Structure 1
């Protein structure tokens, strides 16, 4: 069975090389440029040079992916966009490689964030409450799409359960922690909290507020 699969794959590649040689060539080039973006990860060299390598590889991979999809322009644009998006995600969450003008855009700040007395303390020394709650908005959007797919679109029940997970478990955990540390609701991020309330039909909010109330009644832990 494995040998037959290898033969089928080899025949498919041979046919692709014969009918659309540019697709195979630029697909290989795309993978090579994606591999190039791995170099800056974990490197302690010059950050400016790392950014040039990473984004040079990212956009070169996107261009090659677009050319590989030709003559289908719409598919090429989608693939190129996905390529940039998928490489931008790890850069945002795990590095300081995204820089727009003089501003570095990253989930974790390069320097420790100051704690304030108005309930807007960062969740970690380098991650602000604002970033955490905007990320929560994104998660709730995913949950809402899954719930609507189950309720309206007739998707499998697993989709509905996944959406319900986003509406219940994260707010319970976050609310409990915020309450224990005597933080204000949503650590003062009321815009994101309001958006989440609407997107989740209040389910997220109820779970968070109940957990927050429970946390307030627990003994405050040392930080």
Structure 2
């Protein structure tokens, strides 16, 4: 719990901010209000079109208020506004069907069940395609590679190295076992993404994936 001294210090800081830059405090509060409005569609019974209008109106106004709150520092305002948009787009992509561009819904999970292919079920779930999962893997492996390089080259704390190693090995083992046990092709046919991941990870991800997949193939025989 915060001590009385720290609470008093925070209170004085807010008072000073209100006196020196009142617009920052005002628009910070407005940003939080706008972000709160994006929660309205969650669980709402309204039609999807109205949910989209509510969510993205809140997102745009939140970004605008965050930008104004940072003025006169334009660079900081752009960074904060961009971060605000990113933090609201991310859950919308993974949890909802609210992103719609040019008549096309963009979401991690399809609104409809995905069809099976002739050589097995390519989707990792009935609503998440293999293509989306493997494009997402490029982002995760990239973060892992950056952290590992920061540890090896820049001598950052060991936590960076451990996080990087985790992201380059554990997801590879899990997906390799999964694909092997379900008798799937390598990367479920997503060879472009698999090649990019191989380059980014300097082959670490690929070796772990292929080894795990070979184990998975021996763990379960194909159904007759």
Structure 2-normalised TM-score?
0.96
Partner of 1:212: 213
Q: C-alpha separation between the residues in 2 aligned to 1:58 and 1:162?
A: 31
Q: C-alpha separation between the residues in 2 aligned to 1:156 and 1:9?
A: 31
Q: CA RMSD in A?
A: 1.3
Alignment of 1:50-199 (within 5 A): 50-118=51-119, 121-199=122-200
Indicate conservation of the 8 Å contact 1:50/1:97, yes or no: yes
CA-CA distance at 1:220 after TM superposition: 4.0
Indicate conservation of the 8 Å contact 2:144/2:164, yes or no: yes
CA-CA distance at 1:40 after TM superposition: 0.7
Secondary structure at the counterpart of residue 116 of structure 2: coil
Q: C-alpha separation between the residues in 2 aligned to 1:101 and 1:185?
A: 33
Unaligned runs of 5+ in 1: none
Instruction: List per-residue Cα deviations over 1:123-179 (Å, max 9, x = no partner).
Output: 000000000001111100000110110011110111111101111111111101101
Indicate conservation of the 8 Å contact 2:183/2:222, yes or no: no
Instruction: List per-residue Cα deviations over 1:89-111 (Å, max 9, x = no partner).
Output: 00000000000011000000000
Unaligned runs of 5+ in 2: none
Q: C-alpha separation between the residues in 1 aligned to 2:177 and 2:55?
A: 39
Count of equivalent residues: 222
CA-CA distance at 1:59 after TM superposition: 0.7
Instruction: List per-residue Cα deviations over 1:59-105 (Å, max 9, x = no partner).
Output: 10000000000000000000000000000000000000000011000
Partner of 1:18: 19
Q: C-alpha separation between the residues in 2 aligned to 1:75 and 1:175?
A: 42
CA-CA distance at 1:118 after TM superposition: 4.2
CA-CA distance at 1:120 after TM superposition: 6.3
Name the stretch that deviates more: 45-54 or 210-219.
210-219
Indicate conservation of the 8 Å contact 1:120/1:188, yes or no: no
Indicate conservation of the 8 Å contact 1:120/1:129, yes or no: no
CA-CA distance at 1:119 after TM superposition: 5.4
Residue 201 (structure 1) aligned with residue 202 (structure 2) = yes
CA-CA distance at 1:4 after TM superposition: 1.4
Secondary structure at the counterpart of residue 32 of structure 2: helix
Q: C-alpha separation between the residues in 2 aligned to 1:184 and 1:44?
A: 41
Name the stretch that deviates more: 151-160 or 76-85.
151-160
